[in-house]
Structure 1
């Protein structure tokens, strides 16, 4: 077994542990297993997805082109034939451009949690303006949004930005339903973003309601939560499909970024997840500091698997502190009303997880066979089936 000695961030000691021979996940990673060659189960998940979706091969591209024709057929006679969520980030911006290249007529959808950076807002304006793509936006009340974020912060759980993920999913479905659109395109790429370790993150509508009921002070009115009934309506009644085109084709985030900069004067925001201040706070400071969970290992591992970085270089980069936008922590404290002492008390307080609150997790597990069929039909993402329906995986 290959082991490496590595100085852990936030700790004044050196610990020896096993590192995967193909990426940088190590024995601290939740639910990790290694084979006799030292390859972790997450690398094998990537291999399985490559085989299933024929990613980056002529077969994969042909499969995507067939889906695109299906989208065009379903959208005949309608103003739009697909919905694309936009954040101002690399993947979603490039996804809009590719959709037009494929001859699709997308409606861009944005959920504004009121923590956007100015760069992200401008990126959305530049890309959609030049491409003449319509934008559907849902803006949550800022006090309500802050109250929900504050609830998750006080709850001591990792998923402080989990409400944004659920709200975006709900808004995408609402927009698709309003315009009778049957397809949602997502800009996720497991090749460039990696596989998030099982047990590292969880979110559902019941979880949000449970945490907010215990710690919130303002009634949720404008927040687009997704309860189980709504989820079933979107996938079983409306039968709105979610497609991830980058799972089928060769995709390079670096090439996409260069294209966007050249064609739209699009501006990079410093790193993955940093286009929104709350997301940046969670990934750059909150998770590494409170939970010793630095999720840069997802994309860095992906870069090593793809041969874009050596394992040594990726480990060196991972050993450096995450980039934190100037004044970000002070902005968080001021906006949510925390003194330095109160903020530190929460950061250093008890560590909780979704298991301490009510969720739909057990229900998802019981319905695992159904969700497998739905994933095969693209009515739920395959990643949802892998992570949310597996017993004892979280």
Structure 2
């Protein structure tokens, strides 16, 4: 292995000359300078959204004024999804205290929350005097869905949570006549995860649960294709990601939350929920040889907060695993030690092995492009879901 600031090579594996994505990342390509297509994607988004510039601030200021107009006469003018994590906690603070909005906090409880995340939500919302709308799925039903994904040998065990949160936010917005949803994603600090082993849609979740599940979906908020089109094209509820426009520093945000709200850090990115922690710390690395820390670490390198050597060194250290996390996972999903071992050692399958809406999204690419430009679907959805992508290795 050789390492310096310009070149990183391991066993002839090609690595981006600007971040730490390597040739094992799904659908990656490199230009003549060795810079990967995902770095160029970030550059294009920064240019389009004016991220961290006066242009970006002006664009966001205009959107905020539109949100206020649309919310006149209503109890709330926007929905903000909250998880107890850094990004969503800081976003809801900005929404109320800095931008003068009247947000409704929305949370989807998959019943795997850590105690720290629950306390963080309570501390921040209580001090800001913000109402909380929560959808709590039946815990047995939720566990049955997670168990289905585990038995299906696919990577996206967290997909049901991501889609359910999106559907819950739409439902809350519709209930109160809200036309804007704010999301705490930053492509600057997180990048945009390559589609690879990170695909999900309502058909995918439904097909896996029908094959491997035992309980009916009664309380789980499934977003079907028709619902997705209704929310975006008919109800026209817009999704805004404010961090795409402004200069956002996650470390500074975390420090502020700790000082002002007695907010507690939960030990690592995506570790505020125990299922999410299992996915990032155990399931993805051990079964699929995938470590999603390269998304955040590459973002830190691009932004000059870490050297490539430092990021690569951290990427090659074992992920933090919470004590008793695996035991908790097996107990919740009613798995014996033998069943767990068999699944973890079984040959991985891909999202392409099960029915999805992917080809439909690709066929409707022009529609979703227009919806993305109108902030009716996230631009990241258009970039990830509406173009052909090779299945992960």
How many residue pairs get aligned? The number is: 385
Contact persistence 2:207–2:354 (CA under 8 A): yes
Which is further off, 149-158 or 340-349? 340-349
- Output the CA distance in 1 between the equivalents of 2:389 and 2:381: 15
> What's the CA shift for 1:338?
1.4
For residue 174 of structure 1, give the secondary structure of its aligned residue in structure 2: helix
1:356 and 2:353 matched: yes
1:282-323 deviation per Cα after TM superposition (whole angstroms, max 9, x unaligned): 011100000100000000000000000000000000010011
CA deviation digits over 1:248-289, x for unaligned, max 9?
000000000000000000000011110000011001110000
- Tell me what 1:256 maps to: 253
Q: Secondary structure at the match of 1:138?
A: strand
Contact 1:3 1:16 in 2 (8 A): no
Gaps spanning 5+ residues in structure 1: where? 7-14
Give CA-to-partner distance per residue, 1:58-114, whole Å, 9 cap, x none: 000000000000000000011100000000000000000000120000000000000
Alignment-derived partner of residue 70 in structure 2: 74
**Counterparts of 2:55 and 2:47 in 1: how far apart (Å)?**
10
* d(CA) in 2 for partners of 1:200, 1:310: 27
Given that 1:191 and 1:306 are in contact with CA atoms closer than 8 Å, whether structure 2 keeps it comes out as: yes
Question: 1:198: Cα distance to partner?
Answer: 3.2
- Deviation, 1:3, is 5.7
Residue 51 (structure 1) aligned to one of 47, 53, 60: 47
Q: Is the 8 A contact 1:387 1:393 kept in 2?
A: no
Is the 8 Å Cα contact of residues 158 and 287 (structure 1) preserved in structure 2?
yes
Q: Paired residue for 1:375?
A: 372
Alignment of structure 1 residues 35-184 onto 2, 5 Å: 35-100=31-96, 101-184=98-181
Q: How does 1:295-310 map to 2 (within 5 A)?
A: 295-310=292-307
Query: Within 5 Å, which residues of 2 pair with 1:274-353?
Result: 274-353=271-350
Q: How far is 1:393 from its partner?
A: 4.9
- Normalising by structure 1, we get a TM-score of 0.96
Deviation at 1:392, TM superposition (A): 3.1
CA distance in 1, matches of 2:317, 2:374: 42
TM-score with structure 2 setting the length: 0.97
Separation in 2, partners of 1:314, 1:357: 35
Give the equivalent residue in structure 2 for 1:192.
Answer: 189
SS in 2 for 1:326: coil
* Mapped partners of 1:169, 1:177: distance in 2: 12
In 2, distance between residues paired with 1:265 and 1:340? Answer: 39
Distance across 1 between alignment mates of 2:192 and 2:273: 21
Give distance in 2, aligned partners of 1:75 and 1:303: 36
Q: Is the 8 A contact 2:197 2:351 kept in 1?
A: no
Structure 2 spans left out of the alignment, 5+ residues: 1-5
Q: CA deviation at 1:5?
A: 4.0
* SS state at 2:134 partner: strand
Mapped partners of 2:287, 2:208: distance in 1 = 18
Tell me by how many angstroms 1:335 deviates.
1.2
Distance 2:383 2:269 in 1: 23
